[in-house]
Structure 1
Amino acid sequence: MAADAEKTGLLRAGLRPFRMARRLRRRPPLIAYLIGFALVVMAPAILFSVFLILEFDRQQEEVALTQVADTAEIISNAVDREIFGMITTARVLASSPSIDANDLANFHLRTAVALDGSETNAALVTPNLDVVMNTRLPYPSPPRKVTYPPAIERAFVTGEPQVSGVFYGPVAGETVFYVAVPVRRGDTVPYVLAINKSAADLDEVVAARQLPHSWTAEISDDEKRSIVRVAPDPAEPAAPSDDRALEAEVRSQLSGWTTHVTVPGSAVERPIIRSWALLAWGTALLLLFCIFLAWYLGRKIARPIEVLKIQAERIGRGEPASAVSTEIMEIGEVSKVLAQASRDRREAEQQNRFLMREMTHRAKNQYALIAAIARRAAKESSDTTQFLATLSEALSSLARSADLLAGRGWDSASVAELAASQLRAFGAGGQIRASGPEVKINPSAAQTIGLAFHELATNAAKYGALSVDEGRVEIDWTLADDFSITWREIGGPMVVEPKRSGFGTLVTQKMTARGLGGSVHMAYDPAGVVWTLRAPLDTILAH
């Protein structure tokens, strides 16, 4: 018998955790609901952040690709200007009378003087590809054949200037290129004048573009020989491009050379990776904070609820029960209600249901207004930073109106209190005067007019009367057949009507007029902005 009793006790002890787990699945504790609520609230913000990062990634790649293409075009044009200058110089020298007089000694002297300091040299070549004059050598010097003849041969054949590729010049002792300009005399081409230049001199042309550190720019001739290469480490060979790299290539119509600009994918993706890392860290920290807050609030609320449960059980048994002492007002009120009669308790429950419906209605109106503001701000903003700033200011204005209405039980607010609440944030002191009869307006009108006050004050603080010490703002309202309110700026800088309407214009004019079923007139008087609102009484006054 003792053994059976022991087995039964062990069996019950083993089943107890399973029963507890099943009970938790059926009725999760308060902290689980709080954590779930926090996650639900966080999810839209996280998803929106992910969308913004993906959109930023796409725009970043488009901008980078445009910059790479523009840079390749700029470098190619800069090199073309250098080559065109050499061609122009060669054409001027080729028209020298000394060539016609076959006075090559004089031509050698004049050409050497003309090219002095230009880091270029000239050579006169015959159709047999003999160099009869070279400014690098004294005149006369033994005739010698052209080292790299393709461009000179094309110049003799076409009669048009030609640009060579790069090659090693034995006389110059370095890698050079040249422009070959035909010396035309009637229909014949007795000579070609070749102006040559060190390929290393083009490094300065490319370096003047000041490429970002990780970018690579390379210019190669029509035979794919590298002329100039600017890279983070020019001593290293060009690495094979990865799939993520951004590349642009421009071929010069003048020289036939190709300019290739490459940006590694890591340079483009680095800001995106930082954004993802910040989002991950921010999400983790926010999640930990929400869990801690849910745990703290769960304990704060659960403890008096447990005491309240004991009180309810005692009341159910007909035993006397004193009110629960707690810091949470609602639980204390419920404790008092439980101590009352059944009739009072039912009335309290009905009142609670009414309050919940009213709060839901208020919340829906608030969410709808915030959603409309967000859509307008997103439509009018040119980038994410401007959108977030605009939305933050609008929400701050709504929060001040909400604080004022909350202090009045969400029943009404006076125009004077509304103006003071919205304009206090701008610290204008005695620069603002508000006058008019005592008018109680409904919550919807208070939020709409409050948002308009905020936008008008923001504009005045930036550009208008509140931007200078001698400026002031006068707010006057009247109540007759309809409600009329005027915002007038005096003593500020001269007003210039904006060429385009932004988010502030939408709020102060279109949204205000549409939301209150009235009309708004905005006058950009040089002496100061004047804003006037007229609305019917049934959309303004509190019921």
Structure 2
Amino acid sequence: MPRRSVRSHLLALTAASVVPVWLFAGYLLGQYALHERYRFEQDAVQTARQVSLVVEGELANLHTILDGLSKSAALANGDLQAFHREALDLVHGTNRMIVLRDLGRNQLMNTEIGYGAALPPVTAIEAVDVETLNRSGVFVSGVFTGKDSGEYRVAVAIRVPAPKGEDLLLSLSVPTARIRDVLMPAVPEGWTVGVGDRDGNYVARSKLHEEWTGKRGLPEYLEKIVGRSGSFTSRNFEGETLLAGYYRSPRSDWFYTANVPLSAVQAPLWRSLAAICGIGLLSLLVSVALGYFVGKRFTQATSELARRAEALGHGRSVEPLSTSVREFAAIVQAMVDAERAIAQRRYELEAVLETAPAAVWFTYDPKALQVIRNRFAAELMGLPTDAHKSFGRPELVIDTVAVQDGHIVSREDRPLSRAMRGQLTDHEEFAYTLPSGVERFLLSSARPIRNPGGGIIGAVQISLDITERKRGEEQLKLLTNELNHRVKNILAVVQSIASQTLRNATSLPEAGRTLSSRLVSLAKANDLLIQQNWSGADVKDLIATSVSSHAPIDRFKISGESVWLPPNVALSAAMAFHELTTNALKYGALSNETGTVSIRCKLAGQKQHRWLDLEWRERGGPPVEPVERKGFGTQLLERVFSSGTSGRVTLKFYKSGLVCTMRVNSASPLNPAMDKDDTPGREM
């Protein structure tokens, strides 16, 4: 057998070590490429789906508006002129358009055209799929152009019953730019998102929207949008290859696509490949050079070791070997190196026990009263940790109270004591109370330590501190109870509103409209409280939210201080302002075109004895007279501001208009400081 030098073997070993690393790196690179491609595909599909949720939410909102308008009493009575006014109020100040038409091509009402003017027929592109409308109850159109403006729009249509004859269609359309504005917040940086109708025409696009809306997508691109969702690669209008994910909505039958350049997906792969090749080549050169020099020194040390072995074999004295190869020196001084190896293992074990984030107890005492703790065990027990103390020195256990499943556990029945009797403990939870009164929750496991003959010579217990987890579980329970409490309160408020509304209504349609309006006001106030984590609401924000949905905000003048209202007071105040606003719309300053309402807020008192004075003053409306019968609005105001010790309310009916003064005791300056809850930590 041919023999080669140690140096040659080291060089071959170096090459044999580097090549598998290269192969493994190549395998990892391939897996990385597949993973990144899959990740981008999933991101693309997920992005398309997220955009669909946002846009479909806007379409659902349009459907909700139509559904509410379809319940108009004027429409039910065939009063198209009054219905036209109601529709104009809904779209006033927006770019929305409402159209009432028959199932053919004849328009009956259009908010873009004055009532009584000649209405043109509906174009073919605005035709409604009656089969889809009958099946789902709502129809979402494709892209079409307005007759006068020429802008691209989309519409949502529902069937409404006509007073006489065949059913009618009620549609609400918006410009496609509205769809673009809605989807933009959901578009990740570097991505292009598109929305297409069922015919393959672009509805909206996150980039170059004005250029592509209403235009048909590339045929090879549209052919790959098959099924509900998926991903594919295709070229765009500029010839760039894209990785695209798509999702088709079952509600509108629109498709949503999220695209990212394929080059952006592949760029990390190419950078990693270049880095691996460069590092691999450099490592090979360095390894060969190191192998040569190390092999040379290794050969010299081997020769020195052979001469000393020959001297030992011949009984001559063996001199100590000065070498950088530790194994050769170990042969010469075996006993010394053995002792060093044992010490090194002990240091390593101590380092692990002092570093691992778990509490460890050892005992060799049959009663488990003498224990050896690591640093984490000492910290959990509230004991000082001395860095200079010997780890193996046993110490007495401290006096703690252990509880499991609500029962106190004696010292003899704890995991370490049971392990000394040969029992095994796996993942048992205990609550320990230290002498300082601090409580800790531990997840403990224990095992006996046996000698080669199987006898028990000691035991070890390992525990994890799960105090924070237990606190989190308790906090979750508290939050769940709080949520149940708030839901019950909201349901009670809704029940009261419904009961009072039905009791004071003169007809069922009036009750429906009034109840819907009050519930919408309650929902908006609830949304405002949710934005503040249910901590309360600024009275100015609350007023603006309550009145702006009924009348233009420029008809109101809100002045005074910013005051923070608690959640329960904020909900009641929102309902009160809703009632005042609807009353002003029916009978007061907002019933004409010139009347105004001024609302003044003033915080009075000091520290814990503060109250909020509110004044609602109407001007410019028709003369008002005091009412003999108290309606729901008056009853609500008196209940909110006059019950118990919460405040008071006064209604004065001047010729110039209603003046309502209110006092609320449960108020505080805006953004009050929150108290911090500093809870101490918990042992074995």
Equivalent AA in structure 2 for residue 39 of structure 1: A
Aligned residue number for residue 389 of structure 1: none
**Aligned AA (1:344):** H
Shift of 1:118: 5.0
Query: Please, which runs of 5 or more residues in structure 2 have no aligned partner?
Result: 222-232, 236-240, 319-326, 366-371, 406-418, 433-441, 456-684
Q: Does 1:423 align with 2:393?
A: no
2:155 matched residue in structure 1: 178
Q: Does 1:65 align with 2:37?
A: no
Please list every run of 5 or more consecutive structure 1 residues that lacks an aligned counterpart in the other structure.
Answer: 1-25, 305-327, 349-358, 360-401, 438-452, 478-485, 498-512
Partner Cα distance (1:408, 1:522) in 2: 41
Counterpart of 2:273 (choices 258, 261, 276) is 276
Partners of 1:409 and 1:469 lie apart in 2 by 40
Q: Which one of 443, 446, 449 corresponds to residue 534 of structure 1?
A: 449
| Aligned mates of 1:36, 1:204 — CA distance in 2 | 65
Residues 107-161 of structure 1: CA deviation (Å, up to 9, x unaligned): 2221111223554221222455233322123333222122345434738995943
Letter in 1 for 2:114: P
Q: In the alignment, which residue of structure 2 is the partner of 1:209?
A: 186
Deviations 1:390-440 (A, max 9, x none): xxxxxxxxxxxx9xx9985457976x8744433246778xx9999989xxx
Rounded Cα–Cα distance in structure 2 between residues aligned with 1:218 and 1:534: 67
Aligned-partner Cα distance in 1 for 2:202–2:33: 33
Question: 5 Å matches for 1:83-482?
Answer: 83-117=59-93, 119-148=95-124, 150-152=126-128, 154=130, 158=134, 160-185=137-162, 188-213=165-190, 215-231=191-207, 241-242=233-234, 246-301=243-298, 304=300, 328=301, 330-335=302-307, 344=314, 409-410=337-338, 418-424=345-351, 465=378, 470=383
The SS at the match of 1:200 is: helix
Residue 366 of structure 1: aligned partner = none
SS at match of 1:189: coil
1:52 maps to 2:24: no
Query: Residue 174 of structure 2 aligns to a residue in which SS?
Result: strand
Corresponding position: 1:76 with 2:76: no
Instruction: Provide closer, same or farther for how the CA distance between residues 424 and 140 of structure 1 changes in structure 2, counting only shifts above 3 A.
Output: same
Query: In 2 relative to 1, CA 38–171 (structure 1 residues): closer, same or farther, beyond 3 Å?
Result: same
Q: What is aligned with 1:393?
A: none
Once residues 259 and 530 of structure 1 are traced to their aligned partners in structure 2, the CA distance between those partners, rounded to angstroms, is 53
1: distance between equivalents of 2:263 and 2:445? 53
Do the aligned residues in 1 keep the contact of 2:100 with 2:110 (CA within 8 Å)?
yes
Give the RMSD, CA atoms, in angstroms: 5.0
CA separation in 1, counterparts of 2:403 and 2:290?
50
Structure 1: how far apart are the matches of 2:211 and 2:452?
Answer: 80
When residues 173 and 472 of structure 1 are mapped into structure 2, their CA distance, relative to the original with a 3 A threshold, is: same
CA 1:29 to 1:491, structure 2 compared with 1: closer, same or farther past 3 Å? farther
1:320 aligns with: none
> How many positions carry a matched residue from both structures?
382
SS in 1 for 2:199: coil
Distance 1:282 1:496, change over 3 A: farther
TM-score scaled by structure 2? 0.46
Summarize the Cα distance change of 1:56–1:334 in structure 2 as closer, same or farther, 3 Å threshold. Answer: same
Pairwise CA distance, 1:293: 0.5
Against the structure 1 CA distance between its residues 185 and 125, is the aligned structure 2 distance closer, same or farther, given a 3 Å change threshold? closer
Equivalent residue for 1:380? Answer: none
* 1:293 match: secondary structure: helix
CA distance in 2, matches of 1:156, 1:475: 79
User: How far is the alpha carbon of 1:38 from its aligned partner?
Assistant: 0.9
CA drift of 1:29 comes to 5.7
Q: Please tell me the residue identity of whatever aligns with 2:452.
A: L
Cα distance in structure 2, aligned partners of 1:232 and 1:158? 36
Tell me, in whole angstroms, the C-alpha distance in 2 between the residues paired with 1:539 and 1:54.
50
CA contact 1:242–1:265 (8 Å) conserved in 2: no
Q: Specify whether residues 520 and 221 from structure 1 end up closer, same or farther in structure 2 by C-alpha distance, changes over 3 A only.
A: same
Change (3 A) 1:181 1:235: closer
CA distance in 1, matches of 2:305, 2:175: 93
Aligned residues of 2:194 and 2:256 also touching (Cα < 8 A): yes
The answer to whether the 8 Å contact 1:489/1:530 transfers is no
Q: Measure how far apart 1:174 and its partner are.
A: 0.9
1:434 and 1:475 in contact (8 A); partners too: no
Q: CA deviation at 1:196?
A: 0.8
- Give 1:300 shift: 3.5
Conserved in 2, the CA contact under 8 Å of 1:523 and 1:530? Answer: yes
Residue type of the alignment partner of 2:146: G
Q: Classify 1:162/1:333 alpha carbon distance in 2 versus 1 (closer, same or farther; 3 Å).
A: closer
Helix, strand or coil: the match of 1:140?
coil
CA 1:298–1:72 in 2, change beyond 3 Å: closer, same or farther?
A: same
Tell whether the 8 Å contact from 1:245 to 1:263 is kept in structure 2 after alignment. yes
Deviations 1:356-375 (A, max 9, x none): xxx9xxxxxxxxxxxxxxxx
Q: C-alpha separation between the residues in 2 aligned to 1:33 and 1:420?
A: 35
Matched-pair contact (CA < 8 Å) for 1:129–1:149: no
Cα pair distance change 1:134/1:150, threshold 3 Å: closer
Name the SS of the counterpart of 2:161 in structure 1: strand
CA contact 2:138–2:159 (8 Å) conserved in 1: yes
Give the number of the structure whose residues are more often strand, by fraction.
2
Q: Distance in 2 between matches of 1:472 and 1:152?
A: 79
1:290 positional shift: 0.7
Letter paired with 1:52: L
Q: Could you tell me how far apart the structure 1 residues matched to 2:281 and 2:423 are?
A: 48
In structure 1, how many angstroms separate the alpha carbons of the residues matched to 2:15 and 2:445? 47
Task: Label 1:435 to 1:519 Cα distance change in 2 as closer, same or farther (>3 A).
Answer: closer
- Alpha-carbon deviations, 1:505-535, whole Å to 9, x = none? xxxxxxxx9xxxx997567554465744422
Letter matched to residue 61 of structure 2: G
**1: CA distance, partners of 2:425 / 2:404:** 16
The structure with the largest helix share of the pair is 1
- The verdict on how the C-alpha distance between 1:131 and 1:62 changes in structure 2, with shifts beyond 3 A counting, is same
- Alpha-carbon contact 2:187-2:206 (below 8 Å) kept: no
Sort the Cα spacing of 1:153 and 1:189 in 2 relative to 1 into closer, same or farther, 3 A: farther
TM-score by length of 1: 0.56
Cα gap change, 1:418 to 1:93, in 2 (>3 Å): same
SS at match of 2:204: strand
Structure 2: which amino acid aligns with 1:292? A
Counterpart Cα distance in 1 of 2:247 and 2:360: 62
Distance in 2 between residues matched to 1:407 and 1:111, nearest whole Å: 100
Go from structure 1 to structure 2 and tell me whether the alpha carbon gap of 1:40 and 1:226 turns closer, same or farther (over 3 Å shift).
same
- Report if the CA contact (8 A) 2:353-2:360 is conserved: no
Contact kept in structure 2, 1:471 and 1:489, CA below 8 Å = no
